Amino acid sequence: MSREADTLVLFGATGDLAYKDIFPALQALVKKGSLTVPVIGTGRGGRTLEYLKQRVKDSIAEHGHPEDTDATENLLGLLDYVDGDYADPDTFERLCRALGKAKAPLYYLAIPPDMFGTVVRSLDAAGCAGEHAQVVVEKPFGRDLESARALGETLHEVFDEHEIYRIDHYLGKESVQNLLYFRFANIFLEPIWNADYVRSVQITMAEDFGVETRGAFYDSVGAIRDVVQNHLLQVVAHVAMERPGHMTGDAVRDAKAKLLSQVQPLRPEQIVRGQYSGYREERGVNSRSNVETYAALRLDIDSARWRGVPFLIRTGKYLATTLTEVVVELKRGPGVPEYRLTCAPNYFRFRLGPRRVAIALGALSKKPGTEMVGENVELLVRDEARNHMSAYERLIGDAMRGDHTLFAREDTVAHSWSIVEPVLDLPDPVLPYERGSWGPKKAQDLADSVGGWLFPGCE
């Protein structure tokens, strides 16, 4: 654990991320009494504290809980604002003055990564990156292994690794944390959670919408950089890692790093890339773009537990529905004379979101009648749409308290880049797919060896 923060400084306070996710999370933290320290917003464009307050109110009206007026008022009371260009040392002099006697500021860089260097060096030069200062950064953590390393070096010029919090908001999701908990808290899983019993692991992250207003950004990254390298490989780590010594702190991050180091770098034949129809006409997108909005891939893990088990991942924009789901398919057992099944006989299904979360166990039951044949049934262990703490509320609260458990560590980020690096920016043309479909047909081939993708086909 690092030191608790005594001030939160939000760079990019007038930007989209602050508006959509950060202010509603701060309101929730204030409501629970978990945020009582000053919050200093910084931004460019000659704005004022009044402007920031109005923006916070608008953000809460749209994305937070406007009915919690006391929490909103209390949050507004904590706010201060420093306006100025991040390239101007004067901005940082004024920020240092605004910090007053704060000893442990937490700097949240909700700004483009190419500004990180300027900001952290300026904080240092102005003398406000003292012994207990810490920093929060948002993905993307680079665009390949080399740039991720360079980004790490830039941050390390001023901050030690234990003073850096890298947000991957998937790690803040209750359902993603529960993957770990469910695995290790239930003794019946461990004996079968390996290549002797598991036939495939399939992870789907589907979205039924496109790049919306983020065309220019998305066209510079694509699906692999946007969600596979970070969110989905973190999910793989949760499904596959060995039991950590403890459920908190570096024990969990060590176990994840080890697992990701065992995932083999992808080969081009292990991936299918697609692009939805009309993508090239989206605002901000290159009219000849070869960037993928869909990726399906097959990962191999070189460990005693997982050798030979395909980990299949698919994700895309403008697919048939919006859901994130993990299905762990078990091998077929002996002694069941005849399958006339619509789905694999046995599997675990973890629905991670967006609204409903579920854990289900796929099993066989005898079909009523004279024949001894089975049918698929699903035992629903848990199915709910409760309003959990948002991922941002969880992560900002943890960073304020100095708990690193749910943040991406530099080594895991590097391992993840090593896995996807060989298939970044492949020259072969992306395969077109219709909006509202399940992506290019060729993605089926990747799952052929295990009889195809399990869901939604057998739902």
Q: Which residues bind ligand BG6 (CB under 6 A)?
A: 207, 226-227, 324, 353-354
Q: How far is the CB of 436 from ligand BG6 (least distance, A)?
A: 17
Query: Could you tell me the smallest distance in angstroms from the CB atom of residue 131 to ligand BG6?
Result: 33
CB of 458 to ligand BG6, least distance (A): 23
Distance CA 81, CA 9 (A): 9
Burial (CB count within 10 angstroms: exposed 0-12, middle 13-18, buried 19+), residue 388: middle
Cβ distance to ligand BG6 smaller for residue 237 or 364:
237
CB of 291 to ligand BG6, least distance (A): 13
Pick 111 or 227: Cβ nearer ligand BG6: 227
- Report the nearest approach of ligand BG6 to the CB of residue 324 (Å): 6
**What are φ and ψ of residue 384, in 5° steps?**
-155, 160
Closer Cβ to ligand BG6, 163 or 207, answer by number: 207
Query: Smallest distance from the beta carbon of 333 to ligand BG6, in angstroms?
Result: 34
Contact 81, 49 (CB under 8 A): yes
Map tokens 């917003």 to a residue.
Answer: 41
Task: Give me the least distance between CB of 309 and ligand BG6, in Å please.
Answer: 25
- Closest CB to ligand BG6 among residues 109, 227: 227
Say if residues 148 and 110 touch (Cβ distance below 8 Å).
Answer: no
Residue among 353 and 362 whose Cβ is closer to ligand BG6: 353
65, 156, 169, 231: the catalytic one is 231
Torsion of CA 160, 162, 167, 169, to 10 degrees: 170
Q: Which position's Cβ is nearest ligand BG6?
A: 226
Minimum CB–partner distance for residue 209 and ligand BG6 (Å): 8
Tokens of 22: 């950060």
Q: Pick the closer one to ligand BG6 by CB: 30 or 221.
A: 221
Which CB, 177 or 324, lies closer to ligand BG6?
Answer: 324
User: Hey, CA dihedral for 255, 424, 136, 158, is it positive or negative?
Assistant: positive
Catalytic, 388? Answer no
- Taking the least distance from each CB to ligand BG6, the nearer of 221 and 344 is 221
Looking at the DSSP bridge assignments, the partners of residue 353 are 324
The residues assigned a catalytic role are 231
